[in-house]
Chain A
Amino acid sequence: MDIPLASTSRIEKKPELVEALKKVLPASSIIEDKAETLAYECDALTAYRCPPMLVVLPETTAQVSEVLKLCHKMNIPVIPRGSGTSLAGGAMPSADSVVLGVSKMNSVLETDYRDRFIRVQSGLTNIGVTNAVEDNGYFYAPDPSSQLACAIAGNIGMNSGGAHCLKYGVTSNNLLGVKLVTMDGQILEIGGAAFDSNGLDLLSVVCGSEGQLGIVTEATLRILHKPEGALPVLIGFNSNEVAGQCVSNIIKAGILPVAIEFMDRPCIEATETFSGAGYPDCEALLIVEVEGSLDEIDEQIDKIMVIAKSLDPTELRRAKDEEQANRIWLGRKSAFGAMGQIADYMCLDGTIPVNKLPYVLKCIGEMSKTYGLSVANVFHAGDGNMHPLILYDANKPGELTKCEEFGAEILRLCVEVGGCLTGEHGVGIEKRELMDYQFTSNDIDAQLRIKDVFDSKWLLNPLKVFPLHHTEARRMAYNF
């Protein structure tokens, strides 16, 4: 990964910047000591690291605005940070940048059950939103695996998904409004409690812009009433292809499961050893979860059983109660942990049309032999969002590079069959240079022009999302 050299002239401005920041922030909100800034050198993509020049943790939107005004004036890049759980390096700093973390802004500001929304500060964790409303029977639908830790600010930045988005959609489908501070310090109110946006839908372009258009300090989110209950069914097959067909048939039948999870043999074996969930010995395993009252769940699972049986499954296990449900989910939920115990791994996130699943899995199997690296597949099959885990040994010289090349080839394949590079993790720094596979220069330029409007000096998270050769002139214009 090519990381441009930090600007020494910017680093030399550090003392001047710290002095100015002390006038607008409490001392406890400024971290300048090298030992402490080290904690911010990376996010959950730990392969790439670089401590920032400074870290600031403002407590109010007004403070965020003041910090941005200063950095704007002094041409210092700012890296927004939620909880630092990005798997794509979205919050990775450069040495000449200021990390702006929203972790001190984590309050619930308003809950309105009659209009079904909640307004929160963006440093609140994803689970914190559901925690705030669940006693009243409500929940916030997007549920990324990191939901215990990840912040709403990061969810909005990356347009996060989760296991339940097959039914409920991703962040952008559940976001009603934001308070956004632009790089020049302007505070914008976009959207609100009404269903639709007024005129051009700025909210949709802010969501998923990876912190490049502004800092979100507050968010208005749709809350939903909880279903009466949910239960899964586990189905084993002797080939990936048939399992893929089963997914397609379920969807076509009009059943709308909340989740359809897919695991292949390497993943089943690893999780079985790790968790002892009692999974069957088979090539592919599906976990399909449906919601409703007990009768409604039965009605849907009956239909799923009929579809599955027609495809000659090796195993068919329906959960009758919560304990059996937990048993079925146990292996799936420990999949990442199980893989981590076996080896280092790289988790990909390409999405493909659902009907291309068998073909893509077959190709990945062949590539795995060519590269000599194992792959375990575990993913959200209902919406085609794959998570191939490439296993490698970080201590073996050259193995990370080989793994990256393998990953890039899988993502190229995803694009070739009509899919995309990333379904829910974001581009960040990790997949930046791969964007040229999916987009023409015109396509990328249209996106860069949006950033020009929000951040004309290209100071917000400038090294992310786009291949560096597309952005160099823009980034260098104020690099002094």
Chain B
Amino acid sequence: MFFPSSEIEVAAILSEAKEPLSVAGGNTRVLAPSGSKIISTSKLSGVIDYEPGALTMIAKAGTPLSEIQKTLTSEGQCLAFDPYNWSRFINKKGSSTIGGVFAANVSGSSRLRVGAARDFLLGIRLVDGLGNIIQNGGRVMKNVTGYDLVKLFAGSWGTLGILTEVSFKVLPKPETEATIVIHGLNDQLALDAMIDATATPFDVSGLAHIPKQKETMIRVEGFENSVKYRVERLMEIVKKYGEIHTLDADKSMQVWRNISLLSSLKSNNDDLWRLSVKPTASTQIVQKTKFNDYFYDWGGGLIWGLASPKQDVREHVPAGSGHGTCLQTKSKKIPMFHPYDGTISGIKEGIRKSFDPKQILNQYLVI
């Protein structure tokens, strides 16, 4: 195992490497196959620069997510995209890093309103597969100088290079929040209710449905009077669907924290799936997949599910309706990422080879 403590050490290791290496951050998103040679970012740690007045932070890639969040909380700010955490399905001893969050483009429930992790990433420093040190983007909100490799690396899962430093946008924590809960809806009615909530000017920041509890959740965040006003207006719109009640800020935070930890999904030997789909296609996809347990977020645009091993649920996602990722499986036959068509695959492979011509980085991932 390698534990480089500087970018230059990462560059030296990669320029000399002749054999495949698996890139590890906090070991919470995916685990390299046993026996792989690991290069870890855990010693590339620490906040480099934090400007609360400019809403930007720069940190080394291996900085624990918990440390980032603690630093932000001290200034009343946060990572607005509020990343999901599925570590209990992967490795209970892991601890997420900020580099891992961006490398896997992990967004949470607020993605519906504020955008994905990739939309908050402003700049990166990285080492490619040959050991070249490369920077792209910067620390400003608007930047169209040259190609946007920043977003390409967000969600590249360590297959193009190793992130050493990330610069990202942060936001003030909302003053307060509240959640409307609708009880007793089946999936289709829940989807309709969530879509109705998006067809308003009320800036909804969370839309989830947990079928097992038959609870549909609608969250709004902001200044106190505004939250109160929007909750009232939204209740008028969705009350026709069923019995409703509202959760105050504390309870609302707890509910959405549980969602971000996939708490309603009971961990067992099933495979963990994440489907990113066109919202209106979601209920039909779920009907066909026969998940043992599942829930919806992003107003139907995101489905988390547990399925019996060895079935590739992606066969039920119609072309053009989205894609699925298998985040945990014991079957070697189920690839993690959704297969794509031939022409795109040529481009993707070309990009991968251009950053990693020796083909050493995270070779177990076909992305």
A interface residue numbers (CB < 8 A to B): 112-116, 137, 158-159, 161, 165-166, 169-170, 172-173, 182, 186-190, 192-202, 204-205, 207-209, 225-228, 248-249, 251-254, 256, 292-293, 295-296, 299-300, 303, 351-355, 380, 383-385, 418-427, 431, 435, 438-440, 442-447, 449-454, 465-466
Q: Which of B56, B134, B323, B351 contacts A198 (CB 8 A)?
A: B323
Question: Which residues of chain B are near A225, meaning CB under 8 Å?
Answer: 198-201
Whether B55 sits at the interface, judged by CB under 8 Å, is yes
Q: Which A residue's beta carbon lies closest to that of B174? A: A254
Contact A165 B52 (CB under 8 A): no
A453–B351 contact, CB under 8 A?
Answer: yes
Specify which of A169, A207, A228 is in contact with B115 (CB 8 Å cutoff): A169
Chain A residues with CB under 8 A of B305: none
Q: Is the CB of B225 within 8 A of A420?
A: no
B132 contact from A170, A195, A420, A446, Cβ within 8 A: A446
Pick out which of these stretches binds chain A: B24-32, B63-71, B148-156.
B148-156
Interface residue from B76, B149, B340 paired with A205 (Cβ < 8 Å): B149
In angstroms, Cα B225 to Cα A394, docked, is: 55
Query: Nearest 9 A-B pairs (CB), nearest first?
Result: A204-B151, A254-B172, A423-B142, A194-B322, A453-B350, A198-B323, A383-B141, A449-B354, A248-B53
Where the two chains meet, the residues of B that have a C-beta atom closer than 8 Å to any C-beta of A are 51-56, 76, 105, 107, 111, 115-116, 118-119, 128, 132-136, 138-152, 154-156, 159-160, 171-175, 195, 198-201, 203, 223, 225-226, 229, 276-280, 298, 301-302, 320-323, 337-338, 340-341, 343-344, 347-348, 350-352, 354-355, 367
Given A173-B119, A423-B140, answer yes or no on A355-B53 (Cβ-Cβ < 8 Å): yes
CB distance from A228 to the nearest CB of B (A): 5
- B53 in complex: contacting residue of A187, A252, A424, CB < 8 Å: A252
Q: A228–B233 Cα gap in the complex (Å)? A: 12
Kindly identify which residue among B138, B155, B277 contacts A194, using a CB–CB cutoff of 8 Å: B277
With known contacts A114-B280, A199-B337, A200-B367, A208–B344 Cβ distance under 8 A: no
Q: Are B118 and A193 in contact (CB under 8 A)?
A: no
Contact B354 A199 (CB under 8 A): no
Which residues does chain B contribute within 8 Å of A427, judged by CB atoms?
Answer: 144-146
In the complex, A450 Cα to B351 Cα: how many Å?
A: 6
B226/A292 in contact, CB under 8 A: yes
Across the interface, A422 reaches (CB within 8 A) one of B144, B322, B341, namely B144
Using A170-B142, A252-B52 as known contacts, say yes or no to A446 and B156 having CB atoms under 8 A apart: no
Complex Cα gap A439–B138 (Å) = 11
The smallest beta-carbon distance between A381 and chain B, in angstroms, is: 11
Given contacts A199-B367, A204-B152, A454-B347, are A384 and B134 in contact (CB under 8 A)?
A: no
Q: Are B116 and A195 in contact (CB under 8 A)?
A: yes
- Give the CA-CA distance A237 to B259 in the complex, in Å: 46
CB distance from B241 to the nearest CB of A (A): 16
